[in-house]
Amino acid sequence: MTDPAAPLHLGRHSALPASPEEAVLDYVPNPRPDALYLARFAAPEFTSLCPVTGQPDFAHLVIDYAPAATIVESKSLKLFLGSFRNHCGFHEDVTVGIGQRLFTEMQPRWLRIGGYWYPRGGIPIDVFWQTGKAPKGLWLPDQGVAPYRGRG
């Protein structure tokens, strides 16, 4: 976790990290720390690699969280997610790992991630993870990603 007073990426040129482990996520102070609200990031063109074949896997990720003291800086999140392009991992590991890293470093009140993966071997795999029950009074809109239907 970087010092919120000095973001690493915001307003600077930043190269795509070679791996998720090398990616540094920036967090900035929450401008409304006393308000209960939901922030959403959608990554409809997320890519990682199959750990068995090395072929690309594609997903639509939706990350929802209720911030506490900090919020994740969007450019650093974009670079972190982009670093998975050359990362081999099963859908479950990638989706849950992203959620756990964000939760561990940012320490929001609550977080959930939906990984809507496109078919591999003819089977779509959707992976969902959250940190527990959502805080009472938090508006939780549907993640808005339809189940995979093929050409139907």
Tell me the catalytic residues.
50, 57
Helical ranges in 29-147 per DSSP H: 74-82, 91-106
Residue 117 phi/psi, 5° resolution?
A: -90, 140
DSSP 146: P
Position of tokens 């081999």?
A: 88
> CB–CB of 39/67 below 8 Å?
yes
